[in-house]
Homo-oligomer: A and B are copies of this chain.
Amino acid sequence: MIRVVLIGYGNVGFHLYHAIKPLNDVEIVQIYNRKSSFPKNLPKTTPIANSFDKLEDADVYIMTVSDDAIISVSQKIQLKSKLVVHTSGNTSMHAIDKKHRRGVFYPLQTFSIQRQINFSEVPICIETENKEDEQLLQQLAEHLGCTTHKLSTDQRRSLHLAAVFVNNFTNHLYRIGHELCESNRVPFDILKPLIKETASKLDDLTPFMAQTGPAKRGDSKTVNKHLELLENEKQKEVYTTFSQLIANLYGKEL
């Protein structure tokens, strides 16, 4: 049995709690929540701590708090020589106070309260100071059905940066697609199968092989027609930047 205390109950805390709850071999001993109000979406019997001196004994303390709060929260945890981990992609393991056995349990996924997550689709990036703690985090991830990856802080940071491109920026391209559809009275839903297939293509092809479109073909006629259609200057700028990058990559000129 792995005994877990969750510290913070936002997007990640919420999803971790609900994924761990049904497991036989992992127990949520307690949730720390700084607000005195009882957190939403939790059974009333859930043991909640509102102050750090009420924290109970556990095998691992998972801080699912905002990046900015990791240093201060880890300092406030008074227990000594406990395994304390954060779940941040962009924060050094050494941000955690050194009285603890430090570690990272970074789930590379996008969590929102409004959307269910299947944990078998969550790769966990693990970093620890010592080998036994690594094994414990690995077991915890396996109980959740996750794949695990041992990454250094530098590797995790690069991965987090790459995630910003493929998740945050991609979503903004979806937003532009949504705007273009709305302003031309075309249902955005028509684009959803294409959006999913664009992602799924990577099962078989590298992004380099999967690239298609006018910029890759060096088809200036279509590129210019598209630029004429675009009224928004910012969208034009994105269109030009990407078309140039893609054309260059495939040795074409526009």
Is there an interface contact between A180 and B158, defined as CB atoms closer than 8 Å?
A: yes
Chain B residues, CB < 8 A from A226:
90, 161, 164
The answer to whether the Cβ of A100 comes within 8 Å of any Cβ in the partner chain is: no
Contact of A181 among B162, B185, B222 (CB under 8 A): B162
Is there an interface contact between A181 and B194, defined as CB atoms closer than 8 Å?
A: no
Q: How many copies does the complex hold?
A: 2
The answer to whether the Cβ of A63 comes within 8 Å of any Cβ in the partner chain is: no
The answer to whether the Cβ of A172 comes within 8 Å of any Cβ in the partner chain is: yes
Most buried by B among A108, A175, A219: A175
Number of interface residues of A (CB under 8 A): 89
Chain B residues, CB < 8 A from A173:
165-166, 169-170, 173
Q: Mark A95-120, 1 if CB is under 8 A from B, else 0.
A: 00000000000001110101101000
The answer to whether the Cβ of A187 comes within 8 Å of any Cβ in the partner chain is: yes
Is there an interface contact between B166 and A191, defined as CB atoms closer than 8 Å?
A: yes
Of A26-34, A47-55, A77-85, A148-156, the one touching chain B: A148-156
Contact of A175 among B151, B176, B185, B208 (CB under 8 A): B208
CB nearest to A215 among chain B residues:
B168
Additional pairs, 19, CB under 8 Å, beyond known A163-B177, A165-B239, A172-B245? A108-B194, A117-B197, A123-B190, A154-B184, A158-B183, A158-B229, A161-B180, A161-B230, A164-B213, A165-B173, A165-B177, A166-B177, A166-B191, A166-B194, A168-B213, A170-B195, A175-B211, A234-B245, A238-B245
Q: List 30 A-B contacts (CB under 8 A).
A: A67-B219, A67-B222, A90-B222, A108-B193, A108-B194, A112-B201, A112-B205, A114-B204, A114-B205, A115-B204, A121-B196, A149-B187, A151-B186, A158-B180, A162-B186, A164-B226, A165-B173, A165-B238, A165-B239, A167-B195, A167-B212, A167-B213, A168-B212, A169-B242, A177-B207, A178-B208, A195-B202, A196-B199, A237-B241, A238-B241
